Structure 1
Amino acid sequence: MPKFIFSLVAAFFMAQAAIAQDMAYIQIEAQPSLTRAEDRARDYASVLNDVNGFSLGGGWYGLALGPYPRAEAEALLRQLRGNGQVPRDSYIEEPGQYGRQFWPVGAALNAPRPQPVPQVETPELPQQAVQTPAAPAVVDETPRQARASEAQLTRAEREELQIALRWAGVYNAGIDGAFGRGTRGSMAQWQRDNGFEATGILTTRQRADLLKQYNAVLDGMGLRQVTESKAGITMQLPMGIVAFDHYEAPFVHYTPTTDFDARVILISQPGDRDTLYGLYEIMQTLEIVPLEGPRERQRNSFTLTGSNARITSHTEARVVNGTIKGFTLVWPAGDEERRTRVLAEMQKSFATTPAVLDPAQFKDDAQNIDLVAGLNVRRPKISRSGFYISRDGSVATTSEATQQCARITLDGEHEATVIASDPDLGIAVLRPASQLAPISVASFRQTPPRLQSEVAISGYSFGGVLSAPTVTYGTLQDLRGLSGDERLERLAVNAHPGDAGGPVYDTGGAVLGMLLPRDEGGKQLPDEVSFAADANTLREFFGTLGVTIDPAAAATPMAPEDLTRLASGMTVLVSCWE
């Protein structure tokens, strides 16, 4: 009796182990929170059968289809990938890799429990050691079986393996889907690196392991095929970190759902090549397209890539049958591996339908000069004033406007570089990238001005909000700073921060100084107190650079409108960009 019972128990466990070895799941997604994982499981369960949710450990939760016999799971995975019903990074997983089940709801509670075995009185037998049957070792495919399963791969699947081998650092040849000597050698090296026999032919399980390693970077991204019917665009989007927010023609906005500050903007509008070229120019004015990066405009398409210390963005758009379709992916800086992988999936899956956003239907009636269809127009990090000091277009400005700039512009369009700067004096000199022809150039006063005489400052008081400089009148209070610095002049004038770097005139239009930023040194000064670097200090500084400046001739006082005209042709908006 006991031997018979032991035989039955051993046979049962061996059968269960054999069955378990032949079963597999299709791992389709992982999420970093249980709430989000339950939401995604609910979404998948509305369109797919056999959806399960398991704890993966480390605060992650996985969604999987199954279990199925392994061959059936592999065939179903290919079918679902081909139909775009599951992410392309889905893979075959063993049942033993999963922890507690949370989906379907109650699955773990309703799982059958082992029933207690009734106690049977049996005669006491001599003690014998009972050998518990060992679970059979997991047997992988032989090289011959591996080659046979490999032959069933599509070209795209073979190329995907080469891409994964390149990512693993063992393959550096072309991605052609042909498993020649180079690919076989890289497979053997990957096998050695991962503790497998180096046969040069990956088994089904090894291929799954390789792709699992390769796709681990996408865990939590929730890549999913999304069809935006109103915009006429379908593509893979990282729905684990973004969600639809609103329409505002020509854009569909997908905004972050986590602390990971990524976003996607879909582009959809009626138009032709001229519309495309206009969009190309407009996109480059937006904050989400940093200045640094390659730009390429072709006959019927364009791409824009930009990076700064905060973000990297990629925009592409094309003309499609009388419409403009495209997208922008904005990603936090410093996360290039995930960004490039997500971008590649988006590009690979991008497709269009005839539908297009109607500008009349999807528009925001609220007007804001700082926004284009809900996106911020790029603004400089600081704007100050400057003025032409020579006929070649050299500009004097405050050094405050030139610190830590990726790019400096004059009047918002002319690139310029710093040729000299003295932060102690607060002075900098800029040279335009291409020679300019100023309307007016500063002429400097040769003699000290009279105290209490009338002066005027010219500058972009409001940082470029107005298209022309403003002229503000005041008086000269002292030829020294508060601490006796003879390089400074003290003025009584109501200046704004944007005026700093602008010229200070006497009533005849001669420049007697350059307005400096207000720096009270910890002192609370009246609002009308400002300081300027005097003409002699400016002359000496410019002289060290070989810049020839014009002396001012004796002149009679100018009418205010004449002084305004002179200042308008001489004063420059200096902008510092990230």
Structure 2
Amino acid sequence: MFKRVIAFFIWLTVTPSLSISQSNDFWVQIEAYPNESEAETAASVYGAKIDDVSALSIGRGWYVIAIGPLEENDAERQLFDLRTSEIIPLYSFISRGKNYAEKIWPKSIKDSVTNIQALKNDSTFEGTAKIVLSSKADETLEEASDTEDLLTQDEKKHLQLALKSAGFYFSSIDGSFGSQTREAMSAWQNAENVLVTGVLTTAQREYLLQQNNRILKTLGIQRVTDFETGVAINLPLAIVGFTKYSPPLAHFTSRKGTQHAAYVISKSGDENDLGEIYEALQSLDIMPKASLGSLKSNQFEITAQNDEIITYAQAELLDGNIKGYMLVWPTNDGSRRDGLLHNMKTSFERFEGVLKPNIGDAKNEDLDLLFGLDTKKPEFVRSGIFISANGHIVTEAFGINACERITVENNYEARLVNIDDSGTLALLEVKEKIVPAAVAEFPSLTDHRGDQVLGAGYSYGGRLPQPSVMKGKIEEFKSLDGQSGYVRLSMSILPSDIGGPILNRFGSLSGLLAIKSKNGRSLPENVAHAIKPNKIANFLNSEGLTLYHKNSEQLMSDFGLARKARAITGLISCWKN
């Protein structure tokens, strides 16, 4: 099959010595190619199906395949009809042809017919003949070893890759036939009911490679040359298609709504930008938590996998530009993935140009999206209270022991230290050393019914950079169902406020906001419960923590109280892989 180059919206500015386009001419530009022979071959194939196809020079060694010249309405109709019938790529577009110069095909009717017929008769165009594997060896072991010695390292890598795709080889693709490769060859020979020697004969090698090629053929691998990103790469266009630019990514997503996807990375930048992309990619929903990553000064590589998908990403910083790619593939489609990824790696090529930061609709991107993709979302988000300068934080315990991972303030990993005997309070400790802006102070004075209090919490799940504050009043020193360990408040709160602090007018802790419903019943909108400070203190003392106490009887201003409430409030996220 001839190699196709798909160009997205190519505008190459040249001054042609001879322009064949008139001011009223319109063209359907199909594809672009980097050399004359490929362009002529492609034009021949398209010309066998479509009238008025030409291959034209556009300068700088590039050639386009286009239909025309046409009236504008005819060009629009042809573009729609040919795209819909999948005769031309979806990336074809209407051009005025102002940079079209010399026509290189068709040179004459005779040449055109000859080229088309030659392609139809070419076995490589229609598909190679199927090899039949005989149980009788075509070579002796010595002969097979001799022909194997003539293989290049790349040819050996292709054999290892084919064995891996077939499910027999599980080690690295290094072109070295060690013990694991020999074991894989033996297992493959045994499965094919041929003599097991651990060395493939010439016919067996050809048969194995043809098996692999038949698998890869279903992917519709084609070369994509994108002038917006400045990248050329082979992609499985039978599976994915271009959908949008969302810097620094060009998106190629599944044509049928499956999990298959590929992305081209393109951004100008330095080492810091490379590191930021590396970190950002790992926050995406398509990047499972179970990952292996490597970040160096000029490149990174990530492999991440769960039960559903496996994602691979790599990028390199060169001459002030960061370029690379990402492949997302279902875990149960590994036989095609391995061959495709190798194909993408070997075909990747960078050239002049980088994705502009203002392309696409990035300015209007949803806050839940990054690079046009969903970010990882926690199982739940709630608030907590910093109670030590070493990063200890106390919160509502409900559901916390089911978290596979806990983070504080989005960036810091935390561990669950303990849950109190009543199952209402949880003590967390940040694994890294952090210094909170302030810590809670426990009261030396007793609160009273009717006292005005101020609550704080990440009301909107951390979408805002700081906690919100809520005014309220102490109604009674027990819950609505009579539990004495709670304070009932008149205060309107949201689910992610749970775990946040309640401060009295002196700035000391009056309670910790408790979950509103544990038994299926919900409290009225303006009713909240808080766990009493003495219950919190008893739990923390039992864990060996030294607490801070507020001895001042001086009332704080509204501004000072709000600032302190926000300072002692932390954002807690519960994650499941």
Fold shared, TM-score > 0.5 on shorter chain: yes
Which residue in 1 is equivalent to 2:515? 517
Which residue in 2 is equivalent to 1:63? none
Q: Is the 8 A contact 1:387 1:442 kept in 2?
A: yes
Q: Is the 8 A contact 1:91 1:208 kept in 2?
A: no
Q: 2:130 aligns with which of 77, 93, 101?
A: 93
Q: Is the 8 A contact 2:165 2:339 kept in 1?
A: no
Shift of the 280–164 alpha-carbon distance from structure 1 to 2, 3 Å rule, reads closer
Superposed counterparts of 1:90-239, under 5 Å: 93=130, 141-143=138-140, 154-165=152-163, 187=185, 190-198=188-196, 202-211=200-209, 218=216, 220-239=218-237
Q: 1:455 aligns with which of 418, 431, 453?
A: 453
Work out the CA distance in 2 between the residues paired with 1:338 and 1:422: 51
Which residue in 1 is equivalent to 2:299? 301
Q: Is the 8 A contact 2:162 2:339 kept in 1?
A: no
Q: CA deviation at 1:430?
A: 0.9
Work out the CA distance in 2 between the residues paired with 1:445 and 1:498: 25
Q: CA deviation at 1:514?
A: 0.7
Work out the CA distance in 2 between the residues paired with 1:497 and 1:174: 49
Q: CA deviation at 1:245?
A: 0.9
Which residue in 2 is equivalent to 1:62? none
Deviation sequence 1:455-501 (CA, Å, 0-9, x none): 22121222222222222121222222222211222111111112110
Work out the CA distance in 2 between the residues paired with 1:212 and 1:185: 21
Work out the CA distance in 1 between the residues paired with 2:240 and 2:310: 16
Work out the CA distance in 2 between the residues paired with 1:520 and 1:153: 69
Superposed counterparts of 1:67-466, under 5 Å: 93=130, 141-143=138-140, 154-165=152-163, 187=185, 190-198=188-196, 202-211=200-209, 218=216, 220-307=218-305, 311-332=309-330, 338-362=336-360, 364-400=362-398, 402-422=400-420, 424-445=422-443, 449-466=447-464
Q: CA deviation at 1:145?
A: 8.3
Q: CA deviation at 1:336?
A: 5.3
Work out the CA distance in 2 between the residues paired with 1:393 and 1:199: 62
The answer to which of 393-402 and 175-184 deviates more is: 175-184
Query: Which letter maps to 2:230?
Result: G
Shift of the 178–339 alpha-carbon distance from structure 1 to 2, 3 Å rule, reads closer
Shift of the 197–516 alpha-carbon distance from structure 1 to 2, 3 Å rule, reads same
The DSSP-based 3-state class of the residue aligned with 2:346 is: helix
Superposed counterparts of 1:459-498, under 5 Å: 459-498=457-496
Work out the CA distance in 2 between the residues paired with 1:461 and 1:274: 33
- Cα RMSD of the aligned pairs, angstroms, is 4.2
Work out the CA distance in 1 between the residues paired with 2:305 and 2:180: 36
Shift of the 508–286 alpha-carbon distance from structure 1 to 2, 3 Å rule, reads same
Q: Is the 8 A contact 2:239 2:260 kept in 1?
A: yes
Q: CA deviation at 1:209?
A: 3.8
Deviation sequence 1:113-137 (CA, Å, 0-9, x none): xxxxxxxxxxxxxxxxxxxxxxxx9
Q: Is the 8 A contact 1:91 1:211 kept in 2?
A: no
The DSSP-based 3-state class of the residue aligned with 2:154 is: helix
Work out the CA distance in 2 between the residues paired with 1:517 and 1:523: 11
The DSSP-based 3-state class of the residue aligned with 2:189 is: helix
Query: Which letter maps to 1:93?
Result: K
Q: Is the 8 A contact 1:383 1:498 kept in 2?
A: yes
Shift of the 179–559 alpha-carbon distance from structure 1 to 2, 3 Å rule, reads closer
Q: Is the 8 A contact 1:295 1:305 kept in 2?
A: yes
The DSSP-based 3-state class of the residue aligned with 2:364 is: coil
Shift of the 545–351 alpha-carbon distance from structure 1 to 2, 3 Å rule, reads same
Query: Which letter maps to 2:511?
Result: G
Q: CA deviation at 1:234?
A: 2.1
Q: Is the 8 A contact 1:382 1:401 kept in 2?
A: no
Which residue in 2 is equivalent to 1:535? 533
TM-score (norm 1): 0.68
Deviation sequence 1:492-535 (CA, Å, 0-9, x none): 11111121101122222221211012106333532011111112
Greater radius of gyration (CA): 1
Query: Which letter maps to 2:410?
Result: G
Query: Which letter maps to 1:432?
Result: V
* Unaligned segments of structure 2, at least 5 residues: 4-40, 49-121
Q: Is the 8 A contact 2:516 2:523 kept in 1?
A: no
TM-score (norm 2): 0.69
Q: Is the 8 A contact 2:382 2:458 kept in 1?
A: yes
Q: Is the 8 A contact 1:92 1:208 kept in 2?
A: no
Which residue in 2 is equivalent to 1:576? 574
Query: Which letter maps to 2:278?
Result: Y
* Unaligned segments of structure 1, at least 5 residues: 1-25, 29-43, 52-75, 98-136
Work out the CA distance in 1 between the residues paired with 2:215 and 2:425: 49
The DSSP-based 3-state class of the residue aligned with 2:291 is: coil
Q: Is the 8 A contact 1:474 1:491 kept in 2?
A: yes
Query: Which letter maps to 2:396?
Result: T
Q: Is the 8 A contact 2:268 2:321 kept in 1?
A: yes
Q: CA deviation at 1:428?
A: 0.9
Q: Work out the number of aligned pairs and report it.
A: 466
Q: Is the 8 A contact 1:492 1:528 kept in 2?
A: yes
Work out the CA distance in 2 between the residues paired with 1:47 and 1:370: 47
The DSSP-based 3-state class of the residue aligned with 1:279 is: helix
Q: 1:560 aligns with which of 558, 561, 571?
A: 558
The DSSP-based 3-state class of the residue aligned with 1:264 is: strand
The DSSP-based 3-state class of the residue aligned with 1:93 is: coil
